[in-house]
Amino acid sequence: LHSTNNFPEFTGRVCPAPCEAACTLNINDVPVTIKTIECAIVDNGWKQGWIQPQPPPHRSGRRVAIVGSGPAGLACAQQLARAGHEVSLFEKQDRLGGLLRYGIPDFKLSKTLIDRRLAQMRAEGVEFHVNTHIGLDIPAKKLLDEFDALVLAGGSEQPRDLQVPGRELEGIYFAMDFLRANNKWLQEVPGAEAQWISAEGKDVIVIGGGDTGSACIGTSTRHGAKSV
C-alpha cells in the first residue's frame, strides 16, 4: 500500500472508490471491495506496530518549504523528508490536516488518524508551522530566499456559487463553511461555538450529490434536522 499511497488509512475511509465500479467482476458478479481491503490492511499494520517512522539514512543539505497541510502537502512533505531534505510545512489554519481536519466529518474520518500520521512525520524530521498564512504573515519572497525549493499545495477554497433568484436570502451556506464550522466546534477550537451553524429542527436542502454533499447530509442528520 505504501509504495503508491502515503496515507491508505485516509483513502480507505473517504475515497469514493471508483476502482470498485470499474472492477471487471462487476460485469457479472460483485466487484472486489478494494477500499475496505485497503483499510483493513493498514489498520492491521498500525495495530501490529509495522508502521514506524522512516528517517532518512543521510541528509541532502537541501531545504524545502511546503505551503498547505492537506493530503497533498502532507504526502509531499513525507516523501521529501524521507529523501533526506529538510522540510518545513506552513499551514494558515490553527491545526494541521487541511480538508482532512476541517472538511471531512468525524463519522467519516477520525482526527486521531491524522494525529497519528503527524507524529510519524515529526519523527521523520518534518517541521510544522501552524497559524502561518504565506503572503500575509510571511512574504512569499522570504520562502524563496531561504529555501532551495518551494511547493504550493494549497487547497481549492473558492466554492462554486449559484447565481439564481433568492440566492441572497438567509439560511443559505456553502458546504465547506457548514462543515468547517461543525468540525471546529467538535474539536473545541476557541471561538468555534460562535461560528457554528446548526441544522437542528430545520428542513435542510443539500444541492450536490458528491462526497461533500453526503457529508452535509450526515452532519445535518446528526444535528437533529427535521428533514433532509
In order, the DSSP letters of 132-177 are: --BTTTB-HHHHHHH-SEEEE------------TTTTSTT---HHH
Q: What is the mean pLDDT of the chain?
A: 95
39 and 12 in contact (C-beta within 8 Å)? yes
The pLDDT of residue 155 is above 90: no
Mean pLDDT of 122-151: 96
The SS3 call for residue 198 is coil
Task: State yes or no: pLDDT of 43 exceeds 90.
Answer: yes
Note the pLDDT of residue 5: 94
Q: What is the pLDDT of residue 81?
A: 98
Q: Average pLDDT in the 7-20 region? A: 93
pLDDT of residue 126: 98
pLDDT for 185 equals 93
First-last CA distance in the chain? 37
The 10s digit of each residue's pLDDT in 85-106 is: 999 999 999 999 999 999 999 9
Question: How far apart, in whole angstroms, are the C-alpha atoms of residue 38 and residue 42?
Answer: 6
Mean pLDDT of 200-225: 96
**What is the reported pLDDT for 66?**
98
Lowest-pLDDT range, 74-78, 128-132, 157-161? Answer: 157-161
**pLDDT over 90 at 115, yes or no:** yes
17 or 90: whose pLDDT is higher?
Answer: 90
pLDDT at residue 156 in the model: 85
What confidence score (pLDDT) does residue 95 get? 96
**Percent over 90 (pLDDT), the chain:** 91
